[in-house]
Structure 1
Amino acid sequence: MRNSSMSISDSEWKIMKILWDSPHITLKEIAGKAGGSGWSYTTVRTLVNRLAEKGAIAADKSAANTFRYYPVAVEEECQMKEVKSLLRKVFDGSASMLVSALAKDSDLSEREREELRSIIDKMDK
């Protein structure tokens, strides 16, 4: 990620997910994919501009009158930054408290519980 102190808002995350899934798309295409959010085209443009200012995305300006946007920020790095922030804010930096909270969550499917166990087992090796 270009700027490790970059903070991405919840709304900006939606735009980033679109671009991670479909890089090199136009603003109109981004707005179309974000259609379920209820955002206007202007709102999507504002979010895209903010992300560009932060250095999270960039635009390929080689096509005449058409910018194609793509992510610069790496998805896994952004996810890790958010996880670390969550750990600090909610769990006082304790990963075990986070895992404990997840393990106690009755909404977890059996598959998700098995995945948690597998992750923990791999950490022991």
Structure 2
Amino acid sequence: MKKSLTPLGETEMEVLHHVWEMGEATVKDVKKRIMNDRQVAYTTVMTVMKNLADKGYLKYRKDGVTYVYSPAQEPESVRFNLVKELVKKVFKGSPTELVQTLVEGEELSDTDRSEILKLINNMKEE
């Protein structure tokens, strides 16, 4: 079995972003938002949201017969842990190699580069 680089699949990440943006959401809410970009079955969204709850990324409460999901972890915490795993698996634990890859990447605009530089310089001052 092929193991993913992160504990979250692409659709799981997509669903998580929608829930983060809405604060709380039902399967119907998330399905409606995904349908703006692509076709998706209600049962697919339902399964993904249940899996995210099982993995500890979402929590839920019952409102009548409807499950209302909300984030179980702060987005920053999830992002930090995903990047930490990525650094470990892809860059042999070297954050320097990750930053070097990002900075040398062609997709990085001059604005992105100066923002990164500003972040690093601000860290030095603290």
TM-score grouping bracket, smaller chain normalisation = 0.7 to 0.9
**Is 1:55–2:61 an aligned residue pair?**
no
**Is 1:22–2:22 an aligned residue pair?**
yes
2:68 match: secondary structure: strand
The percentage of aligned residue pairs carrying the same residue is: 29
- Worse overlay, 51-60 or 15-24: 51-60
Q: Structure 1 residue runs of 4+, over 6 Å off? A: none
Q: In the alignment, what sits opposite 2:39? A: 38
1:60 match: secondary structure: strand
1:50 aligned partner, one-letter code: N
Query: Does the C-alpha gap of structure 1 residues 8 and 106 become closer, same or farther in structure 2, counting only changes over 3 Å?
Result: closer
Instruction: Give 1:44 deviation, angstroms.
Output: 0.5
2:46 aligned partner, one-letter code: R
Instruction: Give 1:42 deviation, angstroms.
Output: 1.2
1:8 match: secondary structure: coil
Q: In the alignment, what sits opposite 1:80? A: 80
1:51 aligned partner, one-letter code: L
- Please list every run of 5 or more consecutive structure 2 residues that lacks an aligned counterpart in the other structure: 1-5
Aligned-partner Cα distance in 2 for 1:106–1:51: 33
2:15 aligned partner, one-letter code: I
Q: In the alignment, what sits opposite 1:121? A: 121
What's the C-alpha RMSD, in Å, of the aligned pairs? 1.7
Q: TM (normalized to structure 2)?
A: 0.85
Aligned-partner Cα distance in 2 for 1:103–1:66: 45
CA contact (8 A) 1:24 1:60 kept: no
Aligned-partner Cα distance in 1 for 2:104–2:56: 38
Q: In the alignment, what sits opposite 1:112? A: 112
Aligned residues between the structures: 119
Instruction: Give 1:20 deviation, angstroms.
Output: 0.6
Q: Deviations over 1:5-29 (max 9, x none)?
A: x933222111111111102222111
